[in-house]
A and B are shown apart, each in its own frame.
Chain A
Amino acid sequence: MSEIHVDHLNTFHLDVLREIGNIGSGNATTALAKLINKKVDMGVPKVNILEFKDVADILGGADTEVIGIVFDLSGDITGMMMFVLDQRSARILVNLLMGREIHEDEVFTDIDLSALQEIGNILAGSYLSSLAGLTHLKIAPSIPYMAQDMAGAILSVPAIEFGKVGDKALFIETEFIEGKDQVSGYFILIPEMKSFHKILEALGVSK
């Protein structure tokens, strides 16, 4: 079977990718709701296929400061998984988890950052294990890596990987929102295209 190229995906491929995002982020959203014991809503997953010059805009602008928790994926499905929050949401989330009052302007302590990393770990784990269960494929995430930095700088890392094989990048992006405290963020799955045909095959829908 020939490799599917990111520049030439058809609507059927996009539907499959969107459904992967739906299942993965559905599970991750449920896990988040349990973790903070609040209702969390999830948006419709978006499959973004972007020119590199537009990549940095997906998280509200290239120089927006965000917290990204990133996993390198190996196994049958390779690529990256990211859990991204803006500063404010990250602060609220940590305080919810620690049962503290919410202060907007405090700085993160090491324990806060390690809690965020662990939240990322749990959520990425539930996203990926639902995907692995569905496809019967092996997905092994790395330990979580965290960066507090500009969105563009963080997204340059997966974009460069796409740059090696084509001129566009593909991100499966789902927004989640916790209503009352307005914690919002994104689950982003960035599959390498060489694992995409494995996914299609595993789902029995390859042609």
Chain B
Amino acid sequence: MSQKQMIKVGMADLNTSKEPGILTTLGLGSCVGITLYDPIEKIGGLTHAMLPDSTQIRDNKNKAKFVDTGTLQLIDQMIKIGAKQHRLVAKLAGGAQMFAFQKSNDLMRIGERNVIAAKKILQELKIPILAEDTGLNYGRTIELHTENGVLLVKAIGKGVKEI
């Protein structure tokens, strides 16, 4: 068995890979992980976005920080290495509410808002969402396997899910 390359994606970060690379992000909390996959070319992409909407924030230089600009930049980079936008399919994970803060500000629902924003932009781009493991109140580690587009989702005490 050949050693498959693991490519780590941090918070507010994105990356792409061709088969057989595995894109992974560890400890997704309220952030959302958006994975895209071209099943013909076997090209994968993963963005780890912190905030739903770049237009709501003054300082929006770092595109990977936001769901909207992060998704667009990820698609650009995937096209550059040979993917076709019309073939892309998406899977989502994360967007948890880690703490039940009682404060009535937006922080409380940021996870949920990240997931809603991800669905909105993917719908606008006509990219189908094949699966998701989002919300609730726990962290997730995810792995996108570019050889078959499988997304593994691991959570503490909950084992490994394949979506």
Interface size on A, residues (CB 8 A): 35
Task: Give how many B residues have a beta carbon under 8 Å from the other chain's beta carbons.
Answer: 33
B11 touches A152 (CB 8 A): yes
B33 → chain A, closest Cβ, in Å?
A: 11
Considering the chains assembled together, what is the distance between the CA atoms of A167 and B96 in angstroms? 22
Once the chains are docked, how many angstroms separate the CA of A59 from the CA of B110?
Answer: 23
CA distance A143 to B101 in the complex (A): 9
Given contacts A53-B10, A63-B27, contact A156 B98 (CB under 8 A): yes
Partner of B26, one of A54, A70, A152, A164: A152
- Asked whether A161 lies within 8 Å of B156 as measured between CB atoms, the reply is no
A182 at the interface (CB under 8 A from B): no
Those of B7-34 within 8 Å (CB) of chain A: 10-13, 26-31
B97 to chain A, nearest CB (A): 9
How far, in whole Å, are A61 and B26 apart by their CA atoms in the complex?
8
- Quick one: given A152-B26, A152-B28, A167-B62, are A147 and B13 in contact (CB under 8 Å)? no
Q: Name A's interface SS.
A: mixed
Interface residues in B98-134 (C-beta closer than 8 Å to A): 98-103, 107, 110
Q: Hey, what's the 0/1 contact readout for A40-58 against B, CB within 8 Å counting as 1?
A: 0000000000011111100
A17 within 8 A of B: no
Q: Are B59 and A153 in contact (CB under 8 A)?
A: no
Q: How far is the CA of A109 from the CA of B41 in the complex (A)?
A: 50
Task: Specify the chain A residue showing the minimal Cβ separation from B96.
Answer: A153
Whether A156 contacts B156 in the complex (CB less than 8 A), given A53-B11, A54-B10, A72-B101, comes out as: no
Closest chain B residue, CB of each to CB of A161: B107
B92 on the A face (CB < 8 A): no
The 4 closest A-B CB pairs, nearest first, are A152-B27, A153-B139, A53-B10, A153-B29
Name A's B-contacting residues (CB within 8 A): 51-56, 61-63, 65, 70, 72, 74, 142-143, 145, 147-157, 159-161, 163-167
Some 27 contacts from A to B, beta carbons below 8 A apart, are: A53-B10, A55-B10, A55-B11, A56-B11, A56-B26, A62-B10, A63-B141, A70-B99, A142-B101, A143-B102, A145-B99, A147-B98, A147-B99, A149-B156, A151-B27, A152-B11, A152-B29, A153-B28, A154-B98, A156-B27, A160-B31, A160-B50, A160-B110, A163-B50, A166-B59, A167-B12, A167-B61
Supplied contacts A149-B156, A154-B29, 20 more A-B pairs, CB within 8 Å? A52-B11, A52-B62, A52-B65, A53-B11, A55-B10, A56-B27, A142-B103, A149-B139, A150-B27, A150-B140, A152-B27, A153-B138, A153-B139, A154-B139, A156-B11, A156-B28, A156-B29, A156-B50, A159-B11, A167-B61
